[in-house]
Structure 1
């Protein structure tokens, strides 16, 4: 019976499963097959070829606007922007625009301006479809019936590759344009368009005919309906020669592969492009590498070519079909040990007693949907960690039972107000009631489900039987599959729904609304989800999920350092005065949020939740202090401009987030400034905040120079040079942990080991 029910989810219409089957069992859990009457449903994604319609919809990607909208928004591929319209396929190289705000700061925009427009001469572009989606490249088909102009667009690539099934191609320009003669290769049309240089590379025998001063027609020989177009980074002859050499190596497919090297605590990521030589024998493409690809990467340093100024910093060209990056995995442990024998230690008992009494209420604060309920679950779990480590096992068991009961209420499928539902048409698991357009626009699934997966993993640390697939673990696996499925072209779920392998970070918007493309605000909540995958995979013995989590965690942390915090000074231009950006879009970044102008929440949204999996935030202590110091003038300006709402938030809103963050640079300062009975963010407790600060005050700051050959480790270093080594063993047999500084430690099963 179970097998039949599972098949109903995937091919319900084709197999004619009973209409009365409302839920599907997954062990002791269940999910619904349809929403309650009047509930939201996921959007349709019709703008795909029949072949792609057989797969789960490619939501939450840089190009997702294409599959949901008859008139899609601009797609920001970096360094190019493209847009499909009935008037033609638009392509442009955007430039920086500095846009002032009321806060006396600026936003940085790279908008779609002055595009080149490609139009077939033999047919109209009545509609578009996403025809292919590989790991960082897409094919877009425009036309009707058998007539099609197909464009291949790739992240980082300065080219768009075109195929045309019949007729010639017309190029409409935004203004009168200077054609630059290129006697070296008659196939190439080189143009200066408003100070920017482009080249169109036609097939052998092409004739480029001017039509006035702002248009050209490319007469394509019979059987040679292909050409490529590139933006050029400069006007040097050698650059044009380089781009011409690689212009006919058309990208057919792109694929990312990852490997967690546990012994060295690092992640190796390999990017491979498959190409086809349309003319000549050169199959090597010219790729574009983002800063996180080339920075401190000895594997590519000597091979980089000219680059483009972009929103993501300098994108450097590389003539290669494959390249590799190697990044350190910054270890962490599920929880930190007990604190005692400190002047402030008695305060911990004080706040812990109150938090334990309030735990049931904490589970239900904020909202009734998956985001706030998930935050409540993890809030109590993190309280439970401290209670357990401080030795109160009776209360630990009570808190554990509270979290189990709440998760089982949702997972059981018995409540018609709070439940999970699988949508076969889109290929997604959604949660009711909706929060933040998580169903209607497919937003934020990784933010929401990350809390649930982490809470489930912490339960599994104490009760492995609960996490068995035949009990509740199968439902957790479904949540993981929804946000980070590794199968490509599957019907059930898309490949890495929220994650962009080439940009190395996640996207939050499911349908890609807005003129500046997709976006992500809370990068820290994305990392929280990937930390949850690491813990769940390790504690359940699923190495594939664990290694996936390590890859996603490591990648997103690197992207944050570059594109949210700019710690290496490679991305933000001089005009941008903010220390960090809180919202990263395809075409802009801004220091703001979706819901408030209040500066503490603007900054804090890329910090929370701060728990042991967020220790990466302390990698650069000087930056931490600089970021916090910026709050003072930002808050003063906010008050000066009278932006306070009728019921303003407390002046110390989210003080626990900032106290924890401050402790990663200066624990004593954090302890001195924290108000024991002050504001509490609804994913935090006073207990976990104080325990965090006391731990860092006693053990010192995290030492990221020391690694270990296990996924769960942390090393602390005090000012006097003394260290504390932690390692957690989530398995069922003892392990010997080797640290890179020569220290070793035997750690027993389900135990946190400590070496001083």
Structure 2
């Protein structure tokens, strides 16, 4: 420690932000995601400031497989929770939902197909009376191959090992003696790339003799084939040839060059084949996402870049199909080509990169004190007087403990607003005590067996004990669980910055952050953005993807909560890097949720399915059911909860929120009587985002609490506040991270929170200014004439027109 580091005496004279920034400058609190740890108590316990984690597995804990199917030159930390990570978990693979392609590593090679038709059937992986609740473009079992790509000298059953990966690409290798084949798949790409040693490639058409195969172009090194109505181009090096085409297995020695590619074509035409041929030899060797939070415009600018290896012809561009959440906000031109996918239409971009710009509309740590809520202080007291404040409900573990935290962190600011500082202290102390219990892995060199976190160096992950939901053995749901913990830590940092310092308990908090949302690719402990799939634009809850339908995520709202927690933690501790990655993740997760779970533009979920909303998004499609039941109350609430100042996006489009509510009522019997009773307050809190009057009427005529993470105080505060300020207005932005805007008729209310130690003047995009004192939330209101947010979510073409009109750029076709 250098002489500039604040001493204990100095800290009493420092504001929160100055104190934490001083630790960054001195190196005690390392910036950039790198952590500084003091000497460990023992080889089994790593001391991190005042806290610690274990480096051995407690006896009752689960762990992912001890064998990782990766080549020897790849080490931990290994990615998980992505479309391709099944390759790390088994010798071959489950179905790989690459989009627009689907693939599977089989004994004989890579099976490839193009799922392009919807099927509606009873949902797999759940039980119950509801029928036809799964809309999928894929089978319940292995995909039916159009093509199988392999190496003639690599025998059946040879295991596949991951040899390389990028942010949304992966390469596996199969080796048999001195022969090998590397195959690269890239999400969004119509190309499959292969490189071979000591031999060429073979491509078998279809699975059996009944396949419909036609060869419509055969000229030396390029083939055009149609299999089962799907069109492909096969590209060998110039001078090479394809043999055995008429027998259903095309082989090429690749003229000794050792490379070839296969492309899914939008149509069977020489013109298209030639256009794809020009890009077929620019092999994707890496994929990289980067982002910038532009505070002045309250936008997230994201760049998707491809590293290309020109095998022939020197091409500097590839082709990639964009998901709707990308195509709607892309800044560059797109081609006229497109594919279908389980996420919707995917238009094609030609180039080596593209950029999107998504609006960020802020979040709040809690709603402001603007409403007269009857008996609010009494409701706070009723919780304060209950014992214990941290309690079991469905069970112990990191998830249910996190739900406890959510209830208390929402209550503490409300207690402050009613002037009950003693209750706020009680709620903070309960969270602090529980966090510190888990943040100590043992004593005297002995590791505890429960209520701790331990680091698994085989995979590079931080697991808790106990966890549940396969979070330890399958690496499921880490963002769901840890988001609650980081959010609780952010609330403590708001009132006690010293507790959050790196040399106190912030070191362990940052381990949780790095486990599920690490922004550093060079981290030697945790993978890059574990749960978030950069190209898909959202997280996956499944760690391994070990089901035929691929990865899945049920609660988009808990993923959004996890990234909101990151924003709050970054703001509270003065860590702009963590705040900015939080804003990037939060913003993308929201836009993906609106596209794929809620389909507010009515463009992505299939018309022939009986629902306009999905509780679970899968690699292959959508499901109107939960993992734990098929009751409409749970099916809808699972994508609302937890409700808080981060949830306002659910009301950006008031008409869409109302439509979702009406669909929920229809599927729940239509009478508004919630028989399940688990989520009553959550459901009505959601309703307040489209109809505050109706939600408040319910509360005043028959309130009943439901979700374990809720309280009457928070529900009442939420409903009465929205009754005063109206619903969220996403047409107005601000130049600060923590803000929200509401609209009630011709009155617009502006809210901002200042986590800093100096007053801040916030400027809103309509010219309104608001001065916010340090550490406080401020509001102002004004009468406006501009229209509020309409019910229409912009289509891709409408968004293109907006961009072209505003800055001369757009995503128009060419």
The question of a shared fold, defined as TM-score above 0.5 by the shorter chain, is answered with yes
What is the alpha-carbon distance in structure 2 between the residues aligned to residue 103 and residue 47 of structure 1?
A: 38
Equivalent in the alignment of 2:215? 180
2:366 pairs with one of 335, 342, 348: 335
Q: 1:335 to 1:62 in 2, by over 3 A?
A: same
Judge conservation of contact 1:676–1:686 (CA < 8 Å) in 2.
no
Equivalent in the alignment of 1:107? 134
| Structure 2 spans left out of the alignment, 5+ residues | 2-26, 123-128, 443-447, 782-814
Equivalent in the alignment of 1:14? none
- The DSSP-based 3-state class of the residue aligned with 1:430 is strand
**Within-5 A mapping of 1:87-98:** 87-98=108-119
Equivalent in the alignment of 1:383? 411
Equivalent in the alignment of 2:19? none
What is the alpha-carbon distance in structure 2 between the residues aligned to residue 277 and residue 638 of structure 1?
A: 63
Q: 1:505 to 1:18 in 2, by over 3 A?
A: closer
Cα displacement (A) at 1:578:
0.9
1:24 pairs with one of 34, 46, 53: 46
Aligned residues: CA RMSD: 2.3
Judge conservation of contact 1:378–1:683 (CA < 8 Å) in 2.
yes
Cα displacement (A) at 1:64:
1.0
1:314 and 2:342 are equivalent in the alignment: no
- The DSSP-based 3-state class of the residue aligned with 1:509 is coil
What is the alpha-carbon distance in structure 2 between the residues aligned to residue 352 and residue 20 of structure 1?
A: 44
Cα displacement (A) at 1:356:
2.5
Judge conservation of contact 1:77–1:156 (CA < 8 Å) in 2.
yes
1:63 pairs with one of 70, 74, 84: 84
- The DSSP-based 3-state class of the residue aligned with 1:630 is helix
Equivalent in the alignment of 2:453? 420
Equivalent in the alignment of 1:303? 334
2:227 pairs with one of 193, 217, 228: 193
Cα displacement (A) at 1:29:
0.5
What is the alpha-carbon distance in structure 2 between the residues aligned to residue 754 and residue 170 of structure 1?
A: 67
1:540 pairs with one of 559, 562, 573: 573
Cα displacement (A) at 1:212:
5.0
Cα displacement (A) at 1:677:
4.6
Cα displacement (A) at 1:349:
3.6
- The DSSP-based 3-state class of the residue aligned with 1:465 is coil
Cα displacement (A) at 1:731:
0.8
What is the alpha-carbon distance in structure 2 between the residues aligned to residue 576 and residue 99 of structure 1?
A: 6
**Within-5 A mapping of 1:4-403:** 21-52=43-74, 54-101=75-122, 103-111=130-138, 112-124=143-155, 126-174=158-206, 175=209, 176-182=211-217, 185-210=219-244, 212-222=246-256, 224-297=257-330, 299-300=331-332, 302-341=333-372, 345-358=373-386, 360-403=388-431
2:490 pairs with one of 442, 457, 463: 457
2:709 pairs with one of 683, 689, 709: 683
Judge conservation of contact 2:377–2:415 (CA < 8 Å) in 1.
no
Judge conservation of contact 2:329–2:357 (CA < 8 Å) in 1.
no
1:431 pairs with one of 464, 477, 484: 464
**Within-5 A mapping of 1:334-733:** 334-341=365-372, 345-358=373-386, 360-414=388-442, 415-488=448-521, 490-636=523-669, 650-674=675-699, 676-719=702-745, 721-733=746-758
Cα displacement (A) at 1:474:
0.7
Cα displacement (A) at 1:632:
2.6
Cα displacement (A) at 1:696:
0.5
What is the alpha-carbon distance in structure 2 between the residues aligned to residue 240 and residue 665 of structure 1?
A: 49
- The DSSP-based 3-state class of the residue aligned with 2:668 is helix
| Structure 1 spans left out of the alignment, 5+ residues | 11-16, 640-647
- The DSSP-based 3-state class of the residue aligned with 1:243 is helix
Equivalent in the alignment of 2:780? 755
Judge conservation of contact 1:177–1:191 (CA < 8 Å) in 2.
no
- The DSSP-based 3-state class of the residue aligned with 1:360 is coil
Residue by residue over 1:675-723, the C-alpha shift from the partner in whole angstroms, topping out at 9 and shown as x without a partner, is 655242011111111100100001111111111110011112211x122
What is the alpha-carbon distance in structure 2 between the residues aligned to residue 482 and residue 144 of structure 1?
A: 36
Cα displacement (A) at 1:479:
0.3
Q: 1:247 to 1:340 in 2, by over 3 A?
A: closer
| TM-score (normalised: structure 1) | 0.92
Q: 1:340 to 1:210 in 2, by over 3 A?
A: closer
1:745 and 2:780 are equivalent in the alignment: no
Equivalent in the alignment of 2:812? none
Higher RCO, 1 vs 2 (CA within 8 Å, ≥6 residues apart): 2
- The DSSP-based 3-state class of the residue aligned with 1:251 is strand
Judge conservation of contact 1:524–1:609 (CA < 8 Å) in 2.
yes
Residue by residue over 1:634-667, the C-alpha shift from the partner in whole angstroms, topping out at 9 and shown as x without a partner, is 123999xxxxxxxx99444311111110000111
What is the alpha-carbon distance in structure 2 between the residues aligned to residue 488 and residue 34 of structure 1?
A: 25
Cα displacement (A) at 1:361:
3.8
Judge conservation of contact 1:132–1:139 (CA < 8 Å) in 2.
yes
- The DSSP-based 3-state class of the residue aligned with 2:467 is coil
Equivalent in the alignment of 1:13? none
Cα displacement (A) at 1:199:
1.2
* Equivalenced residues, count: 727
- The DSSP-based 3-state class of the residue aligned with 1:208 is coil
What is the alpha-carbon distance in structure 1 between the residues aligned to residue 478 and residue 329 of structure 2?
A: 33
What is the alpha-carbon distance in structure 1 between the residues aligned to residue 53 and residue 274 of structure 2?
A: 58
What is the alpha-carbon distance in structure 2 between the residues aligned to residue 123 and residue 405 of structure 1?
A: 58
Judge conservation of contact 1:363–1:377 (CA < 8 Å) in 2.
no
Cα displacement (A) at 1:145:
4.3
Equivalent in the alignment of 1:645? none
